[in-house]
């Protein structure tokens, strides 16, 4: 499968790892939009929020258990934002579901 994030999980493409376990992988965004910008991805490939099903939702639930731990490890005690872009209108550029963790500065009240 020609998926950038699958290749990152397989180490075929290098990344800056932040966290990993049996279900997910977290790494630094190559084009950070904030002092802390981490991407969290499931080790199972599915494209986006539109493809969440009863069979794979445990990966999403697990990622949401990991996000507060990753945020704490990154020192985001003042807060942070979690974003998942889904589809073209949201400018999703990589078709492997992922969750952006953004923080380390006061974020804008604007979300879109
Ligand atoms: P999205 O636009 O929501 O699909 O987010 C995709 C994110 O992946 C963007 O923020 C990119 O900067 C990031 N990205 C693309 N290629 C890489 C890479 N090789 N390593 C780390 N982050 C990447």
Site to substitute for ligand 1 among 6, 30, 82, 87, most atoms within 8 A of C-beta: 30
Residue 67 tokens, joined: 């996000």
Give the atom of ligand 1 at the shortest distance from the alpha carbon of 28: 21
Any ligand 1 atom below 6 A from CB of 48: no
Catalytic residue numbers, as ranges: 98
CA dist., res. 7 & res. 30, Å (int): 15
Q: Using alpha carbons only, what angle is made at residue 45 by residues 66 and 13, rounded to the nearest 5 degrees?
A: 85
How confident is the model over 11-67, as pLDDT tens digits? 999 999 999 999 999 999 999 999 999 999 999 999 999 999 999 999 999 999 999
Which residue, judged by its Cα, is nearest atom 13 of ligand 1? Answer: 29
Calculate how far, in angstroms, residue 37's C-alpha sits from the geometric centre of ligand 1. Answer: 10
How confident is the model over 88-112, as pLDDT tens digits? 999 999 999 999 999 999 999 999 9
pLDDT confidence of residue 111: 92
CA dist., res. 17 & res. 81, Å (int): 19
CA dist., res. 76 & res. 107, Å (int): 12
Alpha carbon of 20 to those of 8, 29, 62, 67, 89: distances in Å?
12, 15, 12, 12, 30
1: pLDDT strictly greater than 80:
no
């Amino acid at each position: 499968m020609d998926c950038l994030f699958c290749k990152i999980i397989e180490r075929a493409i290098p990344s800056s790892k932040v966290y990993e376990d049996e279900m997910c992988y977290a790494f630094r965004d190559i084009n950070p939009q904030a002092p802390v910008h981490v991407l969290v991805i499931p080790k199972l490939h599915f494209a986006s929020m539109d493809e969440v099903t009863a069979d794979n939702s445990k990966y999403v639930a697990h990622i949401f258990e990991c996000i507060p731990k990753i945020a704490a490890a990154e020192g985001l005690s003042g807060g942070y934002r979690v974003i998942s872009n889904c589809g073209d209108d949201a400018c999703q550029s990589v078709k492997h579901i992922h969750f952006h963790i953004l923080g380390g500065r006061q974020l804008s009240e604007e979300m879109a």
